[in-house]
Amino acid sequence: MRLLFLLLILLCAASLMLGSKQMSIVALFDFSSDAWLTITASRIPRLIALLLTGVGLSVSGVILQHIVRNKFVEPATSGGLDAAKLGILVSLTMLPSASTSNKMLFAMLFCFAASLLFIFIISRVTFKNSVLIPVLGLMYGSVLSSIAEFYAYQHNILQSMQGWLLGDFSRVVQGQYELIYIILPIIVLAYLYAHRFTVMGMGEEMAASLGLRYAATAALGLILVSVTVAASVITIGAIPFVGLVIPNLVALKYGENLSRTLPIVALGGACLLLICDIFGRVIIYPFEVPIGLTAGGVGGVIFLMLIMRGVK
């Protein structure tokens, strides 16, 4: 775990130094210089957004996995991301001058409702093969997506919707991204409830035997997830796979006792996102590949390796 922390610090430093504007460390010491402006207005907010999103998404993934009791569930494979997209779309078309908090509210409500519906659908499926659930989730997500597309097509904003929904950190600029800070209290809450989430992951009957109010805990978990997903989609866009890959990798090595492994999951998420981001900024320097693509590619490949390895 200490190694992970060190890696994180290194990655943070690299992220700060990287960018289309060349900077020298010396220039940093002159507080009024251009370099300082770049750092504070764009690089540091970007770094913070990266860290919070990485942590938020991986923690959301692990909570969802404990609610649904399936290793392959995360916001992208349970309709959550697509529902948040739909929510933002609806808020935009119904209130054209929607403020960020309006969008946030809609996105969160849609995400929450869609996740509840998904859990209901899953609970009715008796054939609980572990791979069937994410497949159903992907189909469910595509139905939600087509609702969003239908809507967007009607209102002629399909093209732009595709644009601003793709996860992209280059949008993050001081004054535009503060919503993401909402993830901080979420993480604290998640950590406080970590033990309960593990008990919840044992199933309703075991939880009842141990005296945990299953429904209330699950609802709380869903709220935490919805808020995180909504905030990250609005600020940065959709980023798939992080919430799936990191918890599985951590579980392989450290088990699933959340009170112990939640910090590792959080760190892992931040590191993965940082790596993807740096990769995206380096590969076609000085332009960058949006994080939605790099995370989708890298995360997807890791996911495929996990499947091949036979993670059950």
* Contact in structure between 119 and 68 (CB atoms under 8 Å): yes
* Contact in structure between 230 and 111 (CB atoms under 8 Å): yes
User: How does DSSP classify residue 278?
Assistant: H
Q: Which of 14, 119, 189, 195 binds other proteins (CB under 8 A)?
A: 195
Q: Which of 136, 157, 189, 219 binds other proteins (CB under 8 A)?
A: 136
Q: Which of 8, 138, 189, 223 binds other proteins (CB under 8 A)?
A: 138
The reply to whether 219 sits near other proteins by the rule CB under 8 A is no
In DSSP terms, which residues pair with 238 in a beta bridge?
166
Q: Under rule CB under 8 A, which residues in 9-68 are in contact with other proteins?
A: none
Q: Give the separation between CA 105 and CA 22, rounded to whole angstroms.
A: 39
Residue 123 three-state SS:
helix
Query: Dihedral sign, CA of 296, 302, 307, 308?
Result: positive
Q: DSSP letters of 47-58?
A: HHHHHHHHHHHH
Stretch that binds other proteins, among 2-10, 50-58, 224-232, 286-294 (CB under 8 A): 286-294
CB-nearer residue toward other proteins: 17 or 297: 297
Min CB(116)–other proteins separation in Å: 13
Q: Which of 35, 72, 182, 269 binds other proteins (CB under 8 A)?
A: 72
In DSSP terms, which residues pair with 166 in a beta bridge?
238
The reply to whether 217 sits near other proteins by the rule CB under 8 A is no
Counting residues that bind other proteins (by CB under 8 A) gives 69
Residue 166 three-state SS:
strand
Min CB(262)–other proteins separation in Å: 12
Stretch that binds other proteins, among 44-52, 92-100, 105-113, 256-264 (CB under 8 A): 256-264
Burial 241-276 (b: 16+ CB within 10 A, else e): bbbbbbbbbbbeeeebebeebbbbbbbbbbbbbbbb
Which residues form the interface with other proteins (CB under 8 A)? Answer: 69, 71-72, 120-121, 124-132, 134-136, 138-140, 142-143, 145-147, 149-150, 153-154, 166, 194-196, 198-199, 201-203, 205-206, 208-213, 240, 251-252, 255-257, 259-260, 289-290, 292-294, 296-297, 300-301, 303-304, 307-308, 310, 312
